[in-house]
Structure 1
Amino acid sequence: METQNSGRLYLVDTVAGDPEVLQADAETYYEKLLKKSLSSPDVFCIPGRGEVKLEDSCVCFVPLYRNNPTCKLLLLTEPKDKETVLAVYLSQRWWPVEDVVKTADPARDGLILVQTFGERIVLFVLNCIIFGMLEGSSANDAFFLPHSATECAKILWRNGEAAAFYSVKMKGSLCGDTTSQCYLLPVLDTIFVQRKYRRSGLGMKMLHNFCQSFLAEDALGISCPISAAMYQVCQKFLQAHPEEQKRLWEVEAPGDWGQRVNVWLKIQMESSPRGKAEVGSCMEKTPTTKPRQSDQMNKGVDCFPGVGQVGGDAMEKKDDTTAAGTLNSQGPEEEDLEQSAGNSQKHKGLRKREGPGDLVGDKATKQFKTTP
């Protein structure tokens, strides 16, 4: 892997300018490419894969954002496997997927709020390409749809690479494009850790950061359904941070009291044979306690728009803390962490996609109801 000291710049470090201008440039390039591929196609050399011909059958546009087909990215796919994306075209050049999620900026380290156009592209690549095509589980054929253009998300950067991300449905934001209902609490909606970074405490780190980002809230949600792997992360986190046990809920949008189950309560009941039969009907409705004052006095580093400062310990950029390290001792806690949250983003009965161009979220098989 390229180091941050190599002097090489990556897409997220260099992309600047109007996204519409960048897309127009890609469309112009694509038109020229189609004409040239009929006679003598250009080739793109990818480290470890050799040369790939830039032909019409291997190049396509896909939507960058959900429900916004006008903003697109130009992708290069494997000639023999259209499910494998090799590169992204932007700023008059092709970027291998591995380079899109890298950075040469030493300041880009730890959990950082997604704000720039380049960071939106990194989020898309992590979400729809690395997870959705390269690392997603073909057994259940599940994947996350592209995020919206205004989705609140943070990318966890480590050693010059985007290792993970999580996204949040903000309190008061619409539950969907076809409803007037709004979320009644902040909800952790999608979360993903690259396979090579799993079992290193990143799941707990992101969950801790999520909780610390909303210290003034009495209740926080995680989108239903929560996977077994994510429940193991939640269990270890809540054991290490008992002050959060009454704040964390598994919720269905918009998150009214009848649409939430206390995560810690469910964990305790699932551990009891008798409790397993009762957990579906048991709802914890006791008012929650306020966060500890000591947590609210922590140094702020990065925060979501309109939210107070985040506790400094939640933005730890060194080695994992002792509490996070306990996540590694038991085995598969983060093996399938990408399936942990995001009922509004994820579906387990999707038909297999024919190619990257089938990422559009407005097809009938990919409509998800975010309201009951």
Structure 2
Amino acid sequence: MAAEGGGRAAAGRLYLVDTIAGDPEVLQADAETYYEKLLKKSSTPDVFSIPGGGEVKLEDSCVCFVPLYRNNPTCKLLLLTDPKDKETVLAVYLSQRWWPVEDVVKTADPARDGLVLVQTFGERIVLFVLNCIIFGMLEGSSANDAFFLPHSATECAKILWRNGEAAAFYSVKMKGSLCDGTTSQCYLLPVLDTIFVRRKYRRGGLGMKMLHDFCQSFLAEDALGISCPISAAMYQVCQKFLQAHPEEQKRLWEVEAPGDWSQRVNIWLKIRMESSPSGKAEVGSCMEKTSTSKPRQSDVDQMNKGIDCFSEVGQVARNAMEKKDDAAAAETLNSQGPEEEDLKQGETPKDQVFSPVAERRLCKEVNSRRVLIILNRSSSL
């Protein structure tokens, strides 16, 4: 007996995000019942028809539960992996059927177009698939890529829908929200925390579109943050955006949590210093910060408690975290990764360079140590 793959969804335009309903706990209980059935090892196991051809036997060795949320390891999704490649997730089990990964991120609802705030349980699943499966396993193979843990159950996020499918997303740490579950520190400004554009939608200005939406969503704020470290590709997006929107040059900062003034670096100023011959030699010393992108131990411990899957899949997550650690240690602003090539821009136009007066005004917003350093170099910028 063949389990339904992409055929029914394509023919009837029934996609998970449009149709899923009911209590998430009931849906998970249904998945657990199905998993127990697989453990009995039927002599004639069902098969999953892979969209595009091929079949996979539905056996317990090919499925695993993974946490849907960072802060709630008890809420889990049942995934089907390729028996020949455990890094490849083929489908998600919900509502008594297997949904191919590509169908999970599709919609038949014309109202889902452009940037849409994540609100429903179905949209949370789409966000998880984009973040942890498509980016984390299928498209995040480059050593220069970041590594994102699952979002929390209440994370503020938007999905960018285009042509009936999810093309990108970004998430925000809201001002006043807790930095993590182990301290009482709260974010002192809104921070763009994660952002991702699918490969087939790159070079289309979606990164700029999401950055602009982020800025427009917090017009009353004097300062906005982007979580550090910022990748070289994202710096290219920031440079192009700030050239097109000079009014935002003073508002965007690369920040560490919780984002006080000693943990902020103005992004436009850093770009200008990096492009200056004298500033490039000193940017490391005057802008040096400790990377906070490495998953916190509390997050890792929490994830491990909720993961009920086989050792091969667990090794995939550990390898991804190790690759992120290596990438964070080796990354420089001038590194050339695949995403950066997609977003490469030219040199900063001369008419965008700060005048001495404008530069001094910006420097007043930086802490006193950086003010002295920058003013001493103003003649060379």
Tell whether 2:14 aligns with 1:9: yes
Aligned to 1:209: 213
Deviation string, structure 1 residues 235-288 (Cα, Å, up to 9, x no partner): 0000100100000000011100000000000011100011123334557xxxxx
User: What residue in structure 1 maps to residue 278 of structure 2?
Assistant: 274
Measure, in 2, the Cα distance between the counterparts of 1:170 and 1:274.
36
Which of 54, 61, 72 is the equivalent residue of 2:58?
54
Partner of 2:124: 120
Structure 2 segments unaligned to the other structure (5+ residues): 1-5, 301-309, 326-381
Moved over 6 A (4+): 364-368
From 162, 168, 178, give the equivalent of 1:164: 168
- Partners of 2:312 and 2:127 lie apart in 1 by 20
> Take 1:73 and 1:88, find their aligned partners in 2: how far apart are those partners?
7
Which secondary structure does the structure 2 equivalent of 1:149 belong to?
coil
In the alignment, does 2:169 pair up with 1:219? no
**Structure 1: stretches of 5+ with no match in the other structure:** 284-340
Matches of 1:138 and 1:188, distance apart in 2:
22
Going from structure 1 to structure 2, the CA distance change for 1:124 and 1:359 (only over 3 Å counts) comes to: farther
Q: 1 CA distance for matches of 2:31 and 2:106?
A: 21
How far has the Cα of 1:17 moved from its partner?
0.9
CA deviations on 1:34-83 (whole Å, 9 max, x unpaired) are 21x34221101111141110011101111101132100000000011111
SS of the aligned residue for 1:147 comes to: coil
Q: Is the 8 A contact 1:62 1:359 kept in 2?
A: no
Please give the alpha-carbon distance, in whole angstroms, between the structure 1 residues aligned to 2:83 and 2:181.
Answer: 36
Q: CA deviation at 1:356?
A: 3.7
Q: Distance in 2 between matches of 1:67 and 1:367?
A: 21
The structure in which a higher percent of residues are helix is 2
Asked if structure 2 preserves the Cα contact closer than 8 Å seen for 1:143 and 1:346, the reply is: no
Q: Partners in 2 of 1:190 and 1:273 — Cα distance?
A: 31
Matched, 1:343 2:303: no
> After superposition, what is the alpha-carbon deviation per residue over 1:207-241, rounded to whole angstroms, capped at 9, x for unaligned?
00000000000000000000111011000000100
| % identity of equivalent residues | 86
Q: Distance in 2 between matches of 1:102 and 1:172?
A: 33
Aligned partners of 2:147 and 2:324 also within 8 Å: no
> Is the deviation greater in 270-279 or in 125-134?
270-279
Q: Paired residue for 2:43?
A: 39
TM-score when scaled to structure 2?
0.74
Aligned to 1:188: 192
Tell whether the 8 Å contact from 2:92 to 2:99 is kept in structure 1 after alignment: yes
Aligned counterparts, 1:1-372, within 5 A: 7-35=12-40, 37-139=41-143, 142-280=146-284, 282=286, 343=293, 355-357=312-314
Residue number in structure 2 paired with 1:288? none
